Chains A and B, each alone.
Chain A
Amino acid sequence: MNLGRFRANVLAIAYREAIVLRHDRAFIGVVVAQPVMMLVLFGLVLSNEPANVPWAVLDRSATPVSRRLIEEVQRTGYFRKPRPIAGYAEGRDLLRRGATLAVLVIPKDFRRDVERGRPAVQLLLDGSDPLSAARIGGYVGQVAARFETRRRPPPAVHLAPRVTAPVDVRQRFWFNPTLSDRTFFLSALAGMLLTNLCLSVTALGLVGERETGTYEQVLALPTTSVEIVLGKILPYVAVAYAILVGSTVAAGVVFGVWPRGSWIALLLATLPFVVASLAIGVFVSALAHRSAQAVFITVFFILPSFVLSGVMFPYQLMPPGIRQLGGLFPLRWYQIALRRIVERGGGLADVAVPCLALAVLFAVLLAAIRLRMRPRLG
């Protein structure tokens, strides 16, 4: 193969593709609108942190000390105003209807128990939303554990005044001290945006071209199919980098989530991911016969890759089997690299393994495409 001619062919096709893109209003709209929409969703709207939690209180003690406990739970800021109820049956009914997420039951002898030093309360949670239930349980538990049962000040010898556990666990959350979901989502945002872009444009573009017959015109050129594919994906690589830089800067300016690690590592790690994702799009286009089919395959590839890769849910908690399955999606490895660079301030050496995995995925996909995509007519 003549290298000079190869390059000229690839560039010629890339040039043609870039011109087509420039005139595609819908494409430009998607490229601009989608990052904005995702930035708003993941920066502002979506969160696992409980807020506005409706709860009910069955206060059988009805003493100042029980009211103080309720007030302290309320003061954490996660809860709405508690709804007083008169009995268990009412609480269960509220839980069943989904009108409340938690019911705090304070026993009749609460004040006496406080004086004797062994107070206990009961918390009923709506387990149907397990993540919220777990967190709400945690918040109430923390408030209760630190609850000052005695009015008198703690003995002076205690340096840490409100420590009551036998071992004092001093904890810190590195990289994201307030454990905000926003940092978690935004640091992987580029991965979601690029997955959408790379998969949908190549798959739809190639199939659309086959439908309108322009693909056959390209086939009639003195170019090999590898040259065509490379030439066609080159402009998208450029668009992908524009989106990466744009969304990273926007996340930094608007939400203060700047990459802590090296920009060079960020830019370099993106390349194997983008080409692997584009290769998937090309592969989908080789499988599909009609645009509608390409869309179906693309959409139903994008969704599991979001869900299983770890951009939205921690992949570390998924059961074995499902966890490994997620490793087949390029997004899994890219989001690992992104988190290391953006959140934890990693450099090139830290992302070598995910980059290698992406390169392997790309090589496998390329082989599959060569097998599937012989130049063919109609």
Chain B
Amino acid sequence: MSWRRLRTLLLREVRATLRDPFTVTILVTVPLAALLAFGFVLATDVKHLELGVLDASDSPESRRLLADLGAGGTFDLRRVTTREEIARALVRGDVGAALVIPPDFARDLRDADAGGPPPEVQVIYDGGEAVLAGNAEGFLQALVAATGRALVPRAPTGGVAVSTRALFNPRLDGRPFMVAGTFGFVLSFLTTLITAVSIVNERLTGTFDQLQVTPATSVEILLGKILPLGAVFAFDVVLMMLVAGLALGVWPHGSALFFVAVSTGYVFISLALGLIFSATSATAAEAVQKTVLFSIPLVQLSGFAFAVRNMPLVFRALAETFPATHYIRVCRAIYLRGAGPLELLPELAVLTGVGIVLVAMALRTIESRA
């Protein structure tokens, strides 16, 4: 291998990439757009959920309960007068939940204070929005219980109190989780796609053949192709980290340097995959189809949006074979839990192993095509 020849190839690749405004735009906008779009979509708290309210009691106590429910900004109360109205509003999706206070609510409260059974209220959730309903349930229960304790100071308190603390992310903010996952998404999907397309295009226009009649060896051609792309994606990683920090306020808890190093290593796995797809495809469209077909399950199964843990056993085993699954895990560990190399040893070992295998496979496909 000659450094001089490699340098020429590298320069050529950099110029070719920079001259193509479409690729440059994709390389900058897609990661940032993905970051900003994904960063906001996962929320565990509930804000301004329309809550239909049927207050049949209309007593000072029921009004107190409603005032407490509407105060925090979690629920926006919407008065209804009949049960039919509740049903209609739920079907139309106008309200996400409905609260029914029975006519005897105030009397039951006084009875409860004297040692009787606790008063009842009914809550109907729109189960169609499963996630939303699940989140709203906890908030509503807590608010009603708090008001109830204030109204019935002598109520029997049983059960075990749980004081819950969420480490690493006390407010259970969805942004860091999604931001860290977006690195995995961009570096798996975009990198593979761009690599595959760029190499197939080169073969289609005939410039690949021209390169092969030069004194450069196929390993040099390969390196000349993927090193600049690797550099571009390493730059993308830094860019995304800055935008995530400045625009979304999400900075890594662990070492930023360690994160960039791991990510750069991971880029080479994706580059190798892109090489394999391109080497086995005749046209750019075919390479793209292969990449897209491969990436849909990759995005869905890698734990990017849905935890691998919750899947059936077979799919959990399948997900473990994707490098993206391990990389996303590493991203979250570094970004959210501030993990260092020692804690991540098993994951890093898997990534390294997969990386060596894939790069070797990519080299072999190139050699055999040469």
Q: Residues on A close to B: CB < 8 A?
A: 26, 37, 41, 44-53, 69, 92, 95-98, 114, 117-135, 137-138, 140-141, 144-150, 157-160, 163-181, 183-184, 187, 204, 208, 290-293, 295-296, 299-300, 303-304, 307-308, 312-314, 316-319, 322, 336, 339-340, 343-346, 350
Contacts and interface: CB of A to CB of B under 8 A. Distances in A.
A150 B158 CA distance: 9
Contacts of A119: 160-161
Contacts of B7: none
B337 A316 contact: no
Contact of B123 (A37, A163, A170): A170
A296 B33 CA distance: 13
Contact of B288 (A92, A130, A295): A295
A346 B88 CA distance: 9
A179 B90 contact: no
Nearest to A261: B91
19 contacts: A44-B312, A45-B301, A45-B315, A118-B161, A122-B163, A124-B165, A125-B165, A128-B176, A129-B332, A171-B125, A176-B133, A181-B131, A184-B130, A292-B284, A300-B26, A318-B40, A319-B43, A343-B127, A345-B91
Interface string B119-152: 1111111111111111101101100110111011
Given A295-B292, A316-B129, 15 more contacts: A48-B131, A48-B310, A128-B335, A148-B158, A167-B145, A169-B121, A181-B130, A181-B131, A292-B201, A303-B34, A312-B305, A318-B40, A318-B43, A336-B93, A344-B128
Interface size band for B: 35 or more
Contact of B307 (A117, A121, A132, A344): A132
Given A120-B160, A137-B164, A163 B288 contact: no
A126 B128 contact: no
Given A171-B122, A171-B125, A291-B288, A130 B162 contact: no
Interface in B11-45: 22, 26, 30, 33-34, 37-38, 40-45
Nearest to B336: A128
Contact of A130 (B46, B91, B137, B173): B173
A86 B322 CA distance: 35
Interface stretch (B110-118, B215-223, B263-271): B110-118
A183 B309 contact: no
A295 B285 CA distance: 8
Contacts of A179: 127, 130, 133-134
A160 to B, nearest CB: 7
B172 A300 contact: no
A316 B140 CA distance: 17
Contacts of B41: 307-308, 312-313, 318, 322
A97 B300 CA distance: 23
Contacts of B300: 41, 45-46
Contacts of A121: 160-163
Interface string B286-329: 00110010001100110001110111100100000000000001
A126 B124 contact: no
Q: Could you say which of A37, A303, A314, A318 has the most chain B C-beta atoms within 10 Å of its C-beta?
A: A314
A167 B169 contact: no
Nearest to A179: B130
A180 B130 contact: yes
B310 A47 contact: yes
A147 B119 CA distance: 20
B167 interface: yes
A124 B166 CA distance: 6
A267 B369 CA distance: 51
> Among the interface residues B44, B147, B170, which one has the most CB atoms of the partner chain A within 10 A?
B44
9 closest A-B pairs by beta carbon, nearest first, are A127-B169, A176-B127, A166-B148, A127-B166, A173-B127, A128-B336, A167-B148, A164-B158, A343-B128
Contacts of B311: 45-47
A208 B125 CA distance: 48
A304 B156 contact: no
Given A130-B169, A131-B44, A343-B128, A317 B118 contact: no
B228 interface: no
Contacts of B160: 69, 114, 119-121, 144-145, 147, 149
A176 B134 CA distance: 11
Contact of B128 (A146, A157, A168, A175): A175
Contacts of A134: 44, 135, 138, 172
B104 interface: no
A129 B159 contact: no
Given A49-B310, A131-B42, A172-B123, A144 B159 contact: yes
Contacts of A69: 160
Nearest to A295: B288
B343 interface: yes
Contact of B120 (A130, A168, A187): A168
Contacts of A52: 309-310
A166 B166 contact: no
Interface string B170-201: 10111011000000000000000100010001
A318 B300 CA distance: 21
B96 interface: yes
Residue among A69, A127, A146, A300 with most chain B CB within 10 A: A127
B337 A174 contact: no
Contacts of A313: 41-43, 131, 305
B157 interface: yes
B338 interface: yes
Given A291-B284, A318-B43, A308 B37 contact: yes
A120 to B, nearest CB: 4
B170 A127 contact: yes
Given A45-B301, A125-B166, A169-B140, A175 B309 contact: no
A317 B292 CA distance: 29
B47 interface: yes
A177 B166 contact: no
A33 to B, nearest CB: 9
A314 B121 contact: no
Nearest to A340: B93
A130 B118 contact: no
B155 interface: yes
B118 A167 contact: yes
A313 B133 CA distance: 12
Nearest to B300: A41
Contacts of A150: 158
B315 to A, nearest CB: 5
Nearest to B149: A166
Contacts of B292: 295, 299
